[in-house]
Amino acid sequence: MSEIKPYDPATIEVKWQQAWEQAGIHEVRDDLPRDKCYYVLEMFPYPSGKLHMGHVRNYTIGDAVARYKRMRGFAVLHPMGWDSFGLPAEQAAIERGAHPQKWTYENIAYMRGQLKRMGFSYAWSREFACSDPGYAHREQQIFLDLVEKGLVYRKSSLVNWSTGLNCVLANEQVVDGKCWRTGMPVVQKELPQWYLRITHYADELLRGTDELKGGWPDAVLTQQRNWIGKSEGAEIDFPVDGHPEVKLTVFTTRPDTLFGVTFVSIAPEHAALDKIVPASHRAAVEAFKAEVRAVSAHDRTGDTAEKKGVFTGAHVINPANGALVPLYAANFVVADYGTGVVMAVPAHDSRDFAFARKYGIPVRTVIQAVDAQHAEWVKYQAGEDAYTAPGTMVDSAQFTGQPSEAAKKAITTWLATSGKGRATVTWRLRDWCLSRQRYWGNPIPFVRSEQLGYTPLPKQDLPVVLPTDVTFDGTGNPLEKHATWAVTTADGRPLTVRGQKGPEAARRETDTMDTFMESSWYFARYTCHDNRRADLGCAAPLDKAKADHWLPVDLYIGGIEHAVLHLLYARFFQKALADTGHAGVREPFKRLLCQGMVCMETYSREGANGRPQWFYPDEVEVVRDAKGVVTSAVLAADGASVRVGRVEKMSKSKRNTVDPQKLIDTYGADTARLFILFAAPPEMDVVWSEDAVKGAHRFLKRVWALCQDQAVRLASTAPFAGHVKDLTGADAAVVRKVHATVKKATDAMERDFAFNTTIAACMELMNELKPEALKPEVVKLGLTTLVRLLAPMVPHVCQELWADLGGGSRADDLIKAGWPTYDPAQMEADEAEYPVQVNGKMKGKIVLPRSLAGAALEQAVREHAEILRVCEGKAIRKLIVVPGKIVNLVVG
ω into 458 cis (within 30 of 0): no
Q: Is 707:618 a contact under the CB 8 Å cutoff?
A: no
Q: Is 169:186 a contact under the CB 8 Å cutoff?
A: yes
Answer for which of 3, 303, 473, 863 binds RNA (CB under 7 A) is 303
Does position 692 interact with RNA (CB under 7 A)? The reply is yes
d(C-alpha 171, C-alpha 849), whole Å: 68
DSSP 3-state of 571:
helix
Instruction: Identify residues 155-174 at the interface with RNA (CB under 7 A).
Output: 171-172
| Residue nearer to RNA on the CB measure, 413 or 496 | 413
One-letter identity of residue 469 = D
Shortest distance (Å) from residue 9 CB to RNA: 14
Backbone phi, psi, residue 844, to 5°: 160, -170
Residues 6+ apart with CB under 8 A from 38: 66, 69, 74, 75, 76, 77, 554, 555
CA atoms within 13 A on the CB side of 299: 14
Residues 6+ apart with CB under 8 A from 546: 30, 527, 528, 529
Instruction: Identify residues 415-454 at the interface with RNA (CB under 7 A).
Output: 426, 428
Shortest distance (Å) from residue 185 CB to RNA: 17
174 - beta bridge partners? 179
**Pairing, β 167-169 against β 886-891:** unpaired
Shortest distance (Å) from residue 771 CB to RNA: 12
d(C-alpha 386, C-alpha 379), whole Å: 8
Instruction: Identify residues 497-556 at the interface with RNA (CB under 7 A).
Output: none
Answer for which of 15, 99, 307, 775 binds RNA (CB under 7 A) is 307
Does position 773 interact with RNA (CB under 7 A)? The reply is no
Instruction: Identify residues 787-846 at the interface with RNA (CB under 7 A).
Output: 833, 835, 837, 839-842, 845
Answer for which of 152, 748, 793, 857 binds RNA (CB under 7 A) is 748
Angstrom distances, CA of residue 868 to CA of 9, 291, 858, 889 = 59, 86, 13, 11
Shortest distance (Å) from residue 550 CB to RNA: 29
**Sign of torsion over alpha carbons 349, 350, 355, 361:** positive
Which range of residues in 21-29, 145-153, 685-693, 820-828 is near RNA by CB under 7 A? 685-693
d(C-alpha 353, C-alpha 345), whole Å: 7
One-letter identity of residue 474 = G
Shortest distance (Å) from residue 252 CB to RNA: 3
DSSP 3-state of 157:
strand
DSSP-assigned letters across all residues of 405-427: HHHHHHHHHHHHHTTSEEEEEEE
593 - beta bridge partners? 557
Which range of residues in 401-409, 487-495, 505-513, 757-765 is near RNA by CB under 7 A? 757-765
| Residue nearer to RNA on the CB measure, 222 or 321 | 222
Distance of CA 78 to the CA centre of its chain: 19
DSSP-assigned letters across all residues of 556-597: EEEEGGGTTHHHHHHHHHHHHHHHTTS-S-S-SBS-EEEE--
DSSP 3-state of 724:
helix
Which residue, 532, 522, 524, 519, is CA-closest to 27? 532
| Residue nearer to RNA on the CB measure, 226 or 632 | 226
- How many residues contact RNA, by CB under 7 A? 88
Which range of residues in 405-413, 480-488, 558-566, 732-740 is near RNA by CB under 7 A? 558-566
Q: Is 336:430 a contact under the CB 8 Å cutoff?
A: yes
| Residue nearer to RNA on the CB measure, 15 or 197 | 197
| Residue nearer to RNA on the CB measure, 89 or 250 | 250
Element (H, E) at 889: strand 886-891
| Residue nearer to RNA on the CB measure, 333 or 801 | 333
Instruction: Identify residues 716-745 at the interface with RNA (CB under 7 A).
Output: none
612 - beta bridge partners? 606
DSSP 3-state of 721:
coil
x/- track of binding to RNA for residues 841-870 (CB under 7 A): xx--x-------------------------
DSSP 3-state of 502:
strand
Residues 6+ apart with CB under 8 A from 433: 159, 168, 170, 193, 194, 195, 514
Shortest distance (Å) from residue 334 CB to RNA: 4
d(C-alpha 754, C-alpha 681), whole Å: 5
| Residue nearer to RNA on the CB measure, 37 or 836 | 836
Which range of residues in 123-131, 370-378, 474-482, 690-698 is near RNA by CB under 7 A? 690-698
Instruction: Identify residues 103-142 at the interface with RNA (CB under 7 A).
Output: none
Angstrom distances, CA of residue 497 to CA of 137, 461, 483 = 20, 11, 20
| Residue nearer to RNA on the CB measure, 314 or 686 | 686
Which range of residues in 357-365, 651-659, 850-858, 876-884 is near RNA by CB under 7 A? 876-884
d(C-alpha 433, C-alpha 663), whole Å: 41
| Residue nearer to RNA on the CB measure, 117 or 254 | 254
| Residue nearer to RNA on the CB measure, 120 or 678 | 678
| Residue nearer to RNA on the CB measure, 185 or 681 | 681
| Residue nearer to RNA on the CB measure, 239 or 268 | 268
Which range of residues in 82-90, 398-406, 520-528, 754-762 is near RNA by CB under 7 A? 754-762
Q: Using CA atoms of 300, 301, 303, 307 in order, give the dihedral in degrees to the nearest 10.
A: 80
Shortest distance (Å) from residue 176 CB to RNA: 9
Answer for which of 672, 679, 769, 797 binds RNA (CB under 7 A) is 679
Q: Is 879:889 a contact under the CB 8 Å cutoff?
A: yes
x/- track of binding to RNA for residues 213-252 (CB under 7 A): ----xxx--xx--xx-x-x-x-----------------xx
Does position 323 interact with RNA (CB under 7 A)? The reply is no
Does position 754 interact with RNA (CB under 7 A)? The reply is yes
d(C-alpha 316, C-alpha 250), whole Å: 11
| Residue nearer to RNA on the CB measure, 410 or 564 | 564
CA atoms within 13 A on the CB side of 608: 0
| Residue nearer to RNA on the CB measure, 96 or 878 | 878
Shortest distance (Å) from residue 759 CB to RNA: 7
**Alpha helices, DSSP H only, in 72-181?**
87-96, 100-117, 133-148
d(C-alpha 123, C-alpha 527), whole Å: 11
Answer for which of 120, 699, 704, 753 binds RNA (CB under 7 A) is 699
Shortest distance (Å) from residue 217 CB to RNA: 7
Does position 885 interact with RNA (CB under 7 A)? The reply is yes
Shortest distance (Å) from residue 425 CB to RNA: 10
Shortest distance (Å) from residue 57 CB to RNA: 13
Instruction: Identify residues 327-366 at the interface with RNA (CB under 7 A).
Output: 331-334, 337-340, 342-343, 349, 351
Which range of residues in 10-18, 82-90, 296-304, 444-452 is near RNA by CB under 7 A? 296-304
| Residue nearer to RNA on the CB measure, 160 or 515 | 160
Instruction: Identify residues 609-628 at the interface with RNA (CB under 7 A).
Output: 624, 626-628
| Residue nearer to RNA on the CB measure, 521 or 678 | 678
Shortest distance (Å) from residue 264 CB to RNA: 10
Answer for which of 50, 694, 743, 862 binds RNA (CB under 7 A) is 694
d(C-alpha 763, C-alpha 696), whole Å: 11
Instruction: Identify residues 631-650 at the interface with RNA (CB under 7 A).
Output: none
Which range of residues in 18-26, 390-398, 496-504, 684-692 is near RNA by CB under 7 A? 684-692
| Residue nearer to RNA on the CB measure, 487 or 730 | 730
Shortest distance (Å) from residue 379 CB to RNA: 13
